[in-house]
Amino acid sequence: MLASLALLALATGAPAVSAPITNITYDVSFTRETAARRSLEVGMRFDVSGSGDVLLSLPTWTPGAYEVTNFARWVSEFSAVAGGQALRWDKVDYDTWRIRTGGARQVSVRFMVYADSLDNAMAWSREDFAFFNGTNLFPYPEGRSLEFPATVRIRTESEWLVATGMHRRPDGSYGERSYHDLVDMPFFVGRFDLDSATVNGLTVRLATYPAGTLAGAARSAFWDQYRPLFAPQVRVFGETPYDSYTTLMVFPKDFGGGSALEHQNSHLGIYTPEGIGQEWVASVTAHEMFHAFNVKRLRPAEMVPYRYDVSQPTVWLWVSEGITDYYADLTMVRAGVIDSAGFLATTGGKIAQVNQSPAVALEDASLSTWIHPTDGTGYLYYPKGSLAGFLLDIIIRDASDNRQSLDAVMRETYGGTFKKGKGFGAAEWWGAVRRAAGGRSFDGFNDRYIDGREPFPYDTVLPLAGLRLVTDSMRSARLGINTSTDSTGTRVMAVAPDGAAGAAGVQAGDILLALGDIAITGEPSFQQFRATYGDKDGASLPIRVRRGDQELTLTGTVRLVVLTQQRLVLDPDASAKAQRIRNGIFTGSTGN
């Protein structure tokens, strides 16, 4: 990633302000010809008032993808004309073009954007397909209000399709009322599969690339998961915030993993084709859909309004991302896509993930994401924030005899901030939590578990919802080292003196080459080691390392270590109240 502190700290000196521009149209061309260049061609036309220079900037980031990217990097062949005459231009900073209009009233700008980033916040193309985000392509007038309407026209091959959440007009163009909306509605252009359905009176679309990949029975099966996700989310907030919803999915060949980026009435996901038919793809879908409420509308005050020229760090991503992830799990179980056992397995997995990671305060993890920390705490605000939401839900339901829930907190905060045109902070969030819990204070909870790094109080809170953690133990071959794999190999970072590797003489700094016959090429090699030696306690184990410019073979012994793992289960001794709370979480109900 490109993020650097120096870039984050830009923006000093007098703010530059563009001459006012109006009547803005963006023309985006994606044809076989531009596809052959892996590029999109962008035209921008506008009227100018005043005699000053026009300053056009491209965003530094795409909201939701919390990193500085600088989309101006991918621009080439910039030009500006008025009345058939080329206009002089230069740059005032690395993402701002200054156009000397010479008094011209109508100006056209053209440039190419290289679309080669397989990243849901960016632009990517193939010979028959492109996706892009408005942040990558649509310049805005520097220093001016972003509340301007604009038109978007897409020029493409006649047999190719366009899919977007943006509103289509009768003349085939697209348009929105503000720049915030324009850059929050990504596009698919080209050859892909597109269908739609009416869900609760709402038009819901599904666009997937490559054509034929999510097809036939697999597509029907996905629709069967996708369709029921809407109702449980609408029930939390008491309203449907969009007039249509569009899911855009890319399944690139040879792509591993999956991620998606939320928008106000759509999301764009990139997934391994192996994800087709898997529950986790539906879960990511539920997560992104919930974001249409939580973060696209209900949003931390630090990001209201969005700014596109600087980063906007906040301590609240544990709510915006973590609690969204809790609601992805709740949506899945309330929609019947998973059962309660699936919910417990997912939640137990989050508990294990947090337990195995360095302790980090949720506020600190939220703030730090912009620099993508490398210490293992980078994205912990997802699982740990999700668990914080789970615990708050239980505490609120217990304090209110299951009459209130975290749903009430979400609804109240949404109504009290987003609906009033502002963002939320501690007063609104904790005020709503306190009211839902009958006036109880959460200062201690915040100090210990949100601003602090104390382990979560599972043992006292989970039984209130008829749940508990049970500990399983198993024996596993372990070396007693921490390693890190980079371009130089798999390096030993720390050695436990009483572990198998420490006893054999392995030292921190050694590059691990082989364990017995297993060549070490990263984490999968250790899985192979554990599978191979899991029943060979005391067997001899040659350990080959490189230390400086020497290669050594150390004589070691396999050691099986007792490991414990926690599982979340239903408490057979749950009280009637705890059972009601547990059911309330699974179904979204409150009361008795």
Q: Which is nearer to Zn ion, 142 or 321 (CB)?
A: 321
Work out how close the CB of 261 gets to Zn ion at its nearest, in angstroms, rounded to a whole number. 8
DSSP string, 443-473: HHHIIIIISS-PPP-HHHHGGGGTEEEEEEE
What is the token pair recorded at 321?
Answer: 């991302």
Give the integer Cα–Cα distance in Å for 103 and 83. Answer: 11
**Largest Cα–Cα distance of the chain, in whole Å?**
85
Work out how close the CB of 378 gets to Zn ion at its nearest, in angstroms, rounded to a whole number. 14
Instruction: Please tell me whether residue 459 adopts helix, strand or coil conformation.
Output: helix
**Residues in CB range of 433: below 8 A, 6 or more apart:** 392, 396, 409, 442
**Residues in CB range of 426: below 8 A, 6 or more apart:** none
Indicate if the alpha-carbon torsion angle 115, 120, 126, 129 is positive or negative: negative
Helices (H) and strands (E) in the chain, counts: 19, 29
Q: Which is nearer to Zn ion, 25 or 259 (CB)?
A: 259
Q: Which is nearer to Zn ion, 39 or 369 (CB)?
A: 369
Q: Which is nearer to Zn ion, 40 or 380 (CB)?
A: 380
Q: Which is nearer to Zn ion, 34 or 283 (CB)?
A: 283
Q: Which is nearer to Zn ion, 309 or 321 (CB)?
A: 321
Beta bridge partners of 544: 514, 553
Q: Which is nearer to Zn ion, 319 or 465 (CB)?
A: 319
Q: Which is nearer to Zn ion, 267 or 468 (CB)?
A: 267
Which residue, chain included where needed, has tokens 């902070």?
A: 425
Give the integer Cα–Cα distance in Å for 131 and 251. Answer: 12
Taking CA 584 as the corner, what is the angle to CA 580 and CA 589, rounded to the nearest 5 degrees?
Answer: 120
Q: Which is nearer to Zn ion, 295 or 558 (CB)?
A: 295
E-strand spans in 182-311? 187-190, 193-199, 202-209, 244-250, 258-262, 266-271
What's the full length of the chain, in residues? 592
Work out how close the CB of 367 gets to Zn ion at its nearest, in angstroms, rounded to a whole number. 17
| Distance between first and last Cα of the chain | 51
Q: Which is nearer to Zn ion, 225 or 283 (CB)?
A: 283
Work out how close the CB of 235 gets to Zn ion at its nearest, in angstroms, rounded to a whole number. 20
Give the integer Cα–Cα distance in Å for 297 and 309. Answer: 20
Give the integer Cα–Cα distance in Å for 241 and 265. Answer: 8
**Residues in CB range of 147: below 8 A, 6 or more apart:** 177, 178, 179, 180
For Zn ion, the nearest residue by Cβ is 321
Work out how close the CB of 349 gets to Zn ion at its nearest, in angstroms, rounded to a whole number. 17
Give the integer Cα–Cα distance in Å for 101 and 560. Answer: 75
Work out how close the CB of 564 gets to Zn ion at its nearest, in angstroms, rounded to a whole number. 31
Alpha helices in 417-499 (DSSP H): 426-436, 443-445, 458-461
Work out how close the CB of 325 gets to Zn ion at its nearest, in angstroms, rounded to a whole number. 7
Work out how close the CB of 262 gets to Zn ion at its nearest, in angstroms, rounded to a whole number. 6
Work out how close the CB of 287 gets to Zn ion at its nearest, in angstroms, rounded to a whole number. 5
Q: Name the packing angle between helices 406-416 and 230-237 (round to 10°).
A: 70
Q: Which is nearer to Zn ion, 174 or 414 (CB)?
A: 414
Give the integer Cα–Cα distance in Å for 561 and 476. Answer: 5
Q: Which is nearer to Zn ion, 321 or 329 (CB)?
A: 321
Give the integer Cα–Cα distance in Å for 8 and 311. Answer: 6
Work out how close the CB of 249 gets to Zn ion at its nearest, in angstroms, rounded to a whole number. 16
Which residue, chain included where needed, has tokens 């509340």?
A: 147
Strand order through the sheet with 129-132: 124-126, 129-132, 187-190, 161-164
Which residue, chain included where needed, has tokens 């596809």?
A: 35
Work out how close the CB of 320 gets to Zn ion at its nearest, in angstroms, rounded to a whole number. 7
Q: Which is nearer to Zn ion, 387 or 581 (CB)?
A: 387
Work out how close the CB of 85 gets to Zn ion at its nearest, in angstroms, rounded to a whole number. 47
Q: Which is nearer to Zn ion, 66 or 74 (CB)?
A: 66
* Residues engaged in binding Zn ion (CB under 5 A): 321
Rounded-to-10 torsion of CA 168, 172, 176, 180: 90
Work out how close the CB of 356 gets to Zn ion at its nearest, in angstroms, rounded to a whole number. 22
In Å, what is the CA distance from 396 to each residue of 93, 306, 439, 464, 586?
50, 32, 10, 10, 15
Beta bridge partners of 481: 495
Work out how close the CB of 342 gets to Zn ion at its nearest, in angstroms, rounded to a whole number. 20
In Å, what is the CA distance from 342 to each residue of 71, 300, 304, 381, 528?
40, 31, 36, 22, 28
Q: Which is nearer to Zn ion, 192 or 327 (CB)?
A: 327
Work out how close the CB of 295 gets to Zn ion at its nearest, in angstroms, rounded to a whole number. 7
| Contact (CB, 8 A) for 293 and 237 | yes
